[in-house]
Amino acid sequence: MSTAIQTISLQHNRITLALHQLQDGAGRPLLLLHGLGESAAMMSALAVDWDGPVWALDFTGHGDSSVPAGGGYSSEILMADADIALRHIGEATVVGRGLGAYIAFLIAGARPTLVRGAVLLDGPGLAGGAIHATSNTEITSGGDRTGTTPDPWALIELSRDARPPTYTTTFARLAVSGSGIADPIAVTCKVAPPWVEAIRAEPGVMIDITLQDALDIYATA
């Protein structure tokens, strides 16, 4: 996949999000979500066979998206980023890498009628933090915050983001009950932190499948 053919600016409260179109096409859109500390440019190197348009989002504090003052990052904030992107491109299949895999999974449960399959890939930020979220009051310095990305606060706070297995299994069940797809989640990850292990046991979650095989299924779902 090549570099972006166009970039759209989307507004998320005071944050400007960069949504890059990597490929044109007539089929269903594909939305790519990058890992922690990465950007949409990393996802542009992903080799996939997809007939529809392909889009890649820069999360808040990453890539060409803007940086909030004072941090305050959470997976739910990034899920809202993805929600805004979906509102722009419409019903789509979502592929996420690392942290983006977790966000793809969450948005599949939160917006099951918009997400036509979510594919989870290994990558940075997949594991998250402890069961109990840490407070950003523990951070004495955000580093040299010049407004450049990735924002140091994003790297610190999102690496500590809590992912309780009971929380994630709820989202898996929401995706299954609301999407109308038999298996709306596809786990290709070789690394299996507790939240991934928890959802692998849920009905409607495909395991031991490749990225392309999952996309072939979701292309007609």
How many angstroms separate the CA atoms of 79 and 7, rounded? 20
pLDDT value, residue 132: 42
pLDDT value, residue 144: 46
Give me the mean pLDDT over the 69-82 stretch: 92
pLDDT value, residue 47: 81
pLDDT value, residue 69: 84
Is pLDDT of 205 > 90?
yes
54-58 vs 15-23, strand pairing mode: antiparallel
Q: Which domains does the chain have, with CATH numbers?
A: 6-135+145-218 (3.40.50.1820)
Q: What's the whole-number average pLDDT of the chain?
A: 90
Torsion-angle region of 179 (φ positive above 0: left; ψ -120 to 50: alpha; else: beta): alpha
Is pLDDT of 186 > 60?
yes
**pLDDT tens digits along 24-56:** 998 999 999 999 999 999 998 888 899 999 999
